[in-house]
Amino acid sequence: MHGWGWYGIWPFGFGIISFMFGLIFMIVFGVIIYFLFKNIFNPNSNKNHSKGDEYEMIRILNEKLAKGEISEEEYLRKKEFILKK
């Protein structure tokens, strides 16, 4: 008999246990959705390098400029691009 007894109002029984599993599932599902949206719709998500990476890229640019592999104009353009990110 379905009622307010030991099994509660849940159609499959288990009372509080099924409620807790459902609640845990909804929390986990919510956390997954939150992180997906945070990573997809974050305006800064295309910023995928740190300050250390910027310094390394500029160091390489400096070496290429010193060796004459790139022109000063190209150096300045690439350096500005790196620092803009």
Q: What are phi and psi of 27, to 5 degrees?
A: -65, -45
Q: Helix (H) and strand (E) counts for the chain?
A: 3, 0
pLDDT of residue 8: 53
pLDDT of residue 4: 53
Tokens of 21: 């599993």
Cβ neighbours around 19 below 10 Å, total? 13
pLDDT of residue 53: 82
CA-based nearest residue to 54, from 85, 26, 23, 30: 85
pLDDT of residue 54: 85
Global confidence as pTM? 0.41
Going from N- to C-terminal start, the domains of the chain cover 1-46, 51-84
User: Which residues of the chain are modeled with pLDDT < 70?
Assistant: 1-15, 42-51, 85
Q: 61 near 78, Cβ under 8 Å?
A: yes
Amino acid identity at 84: K
pLDDT tens-digit map of 69-81: 999 999 999 999 9
